[in-house]
Structure 1
Amino acid sequence: MSSSPDNRALLIAGPTASGKSALALAVARAQNGMVINTDSMQVYRDLRVLTARPTGEEEAQAPHRLYGTVDAAVNFSAGAWVEEAARVLAEVRTQGKLPIFIGGSGLYFKALTRGLSAVPPVAAEVREDVRARLESDGPEALHAQLALVDPVSAERLNLRDRTRIARALEVVEATGRSLTDWHSEGLPPLLPPEGVTALFLAPERDELYARIDARFGRMLDEGALDEVAMLAARGLDPLLPAMKAHGVPALIRHIRGEISREEAAEIGQADTRHYAKRQFTWFRHQLPEFAWMTVEEAGASLARALVS
Structure 2
Amino acid sequence: MNEEQVGRRRVGEAVLIAGPTASGKSALALELALATGGIVINADSMQVYRDLRIITARPTQDEEARAPHRLYGHVDAAVNFSAGAWVADAAKALDEAKTEGRPPIFVGGTGLYFKALTAGLSVVPPIPAELREDVRARLERNGAEALHAELARRDPRAAERLNLRDRTRIARALEVVEATGRSLLDWHREGQPPLLPKDGFRAVFLAPDRDALYARIDARFDAMLEAGALEEVERLSARQLDPLLPAMKAHGVPALIRHLRGELTLEQAATIGRADTRHYAKRQFTWFRHQLPAFEWVRPEEARRWLATAVNAAWESK
Whether TM-score is above 0.5 comes out as: yes
* TM-score, normalising length: structure 2: 0.94
SS of residue in 2 equivalent to 1:177: coil
Q: In the alignment, does 2:94 pair up with 1:89?
A: yes
| Deviation readout 1:47-91 (Å, 9 max, x if unpaired) | 100000000110111000000000111000000000000011011
| Deviation readout 1:270-292 (Å, 9 max, x if unpaired) | 00000000000000011111100
Separation of aligned partners in 1, 2:187 and 2:198: 24
How many correspondences in the alignment?
Answer: 306
Q: In the alignment, does 2:266 pair up with 1:261?
A: yes
In the alignment, structure 1 segments of 5+ residues that lack a partner are: none
Separation of aligned partners in 2, 1:254 and 1:97: 45
Shift of 1:193: 1.4
Query: Contact (CA 8 Å) 1:7, 1:191: kept in 2 or not?
Result: no
Separation of aligned partners in 2, 1:270 and 1:29: 34
Task: Tell me what 1:124 maps to.
Answer: 129
Q: In the alignment, does 2:220 pair up with 1:221?
A: no
SS of residue in 1 equivalent to 2:75: coil
Task: Tell me what 1:19 maps to.
Answer: 24
Separation of aligned partners in 2, 1:271 and 1:33: 33
Query: Contact (CA 8 Å) 1:228, 1:251: kept in 2 or not?
Result: yes
Query: Contact (CA 8 Å) 1:7, 1:192: kept in 2 or not?
Result: no
Q: Give the superposed CA RMSD.
A: 1.3
Which of 290, 293, 312 is the matching residue for 1:288?
293
Paired amino acid for 2:239: R
Shift of 1:6: 5.8
Q: Hey, which bits of structure 1, 4+ residues long, moved more than 2 A?
A: 305-308
Task: Tell me what 1:78 maps to.
Answer: 83
Separation of aligned partners in 1, 2:177 and 2:11: 40
SS of residue in 2 equivalent to 1:234: coil
Q: Equivalences for 1:58-77 in 2 at 5 Å?
A: 58-77=63-82
Separation of aligned partners in 1, 2:285 and 2:215: 16
Task: Tell me what 2:112 maps to.
Answer: 107
Shift of 1:306: 2.5
Paired amino acid for 1:210: A
Paired amino acid for 1:235: Q
Which of 159, 166, 177 is the matching residue for 1:161?
166
Separation of aligned partners in 2, 1:123 and 1:235: 22
* TM-score, normalising length: structure 1: 0.97
SS of residue in 1 equivalent to 2:51: helix
Separation of aligned partners in 2, 1:306 and 1:80: 28
Paired amino acid for 2:214: Y
Query: Contact (CA 8 Å) 1:246, 1:272: kept in 2 or not?
Result: yes
Shift of 1:122: 1.1
Shift of 1:7: 4.8
Separation of aligned partners in 2, 1:73 and 1:260: 27
Q: In the alignment, does 2:312 pair up with 1:307?
A: yes
SS of residue in 2 equivalent to 1:74: coil
Moved more, 266-275 or 175-184: 175-184
Shift of 1:159: 1.4
In the alignment, structure 2 segments of 5+ residues that lack a partner are: 1-5, 314-318
Query: Contact (CA 8 Å) 1:65, 1:88: kept in 2 or not?
Result: yes
Shift of 1:166: 0.2
Separation of aligned partners in 1, 2:240 and 2:283: 29
SS of residue in 1 equivalent to 2:312: coil
Q: In the alignment, does 2:148 pair up with 1:143?
A: yes
Q: In the alignment, does 2:18 pair up with 1:10?
A: no
Task: Tell me what 2:216 maps to.
Answer: 211
SS of residue in 1 equivalent to 2:56: coil
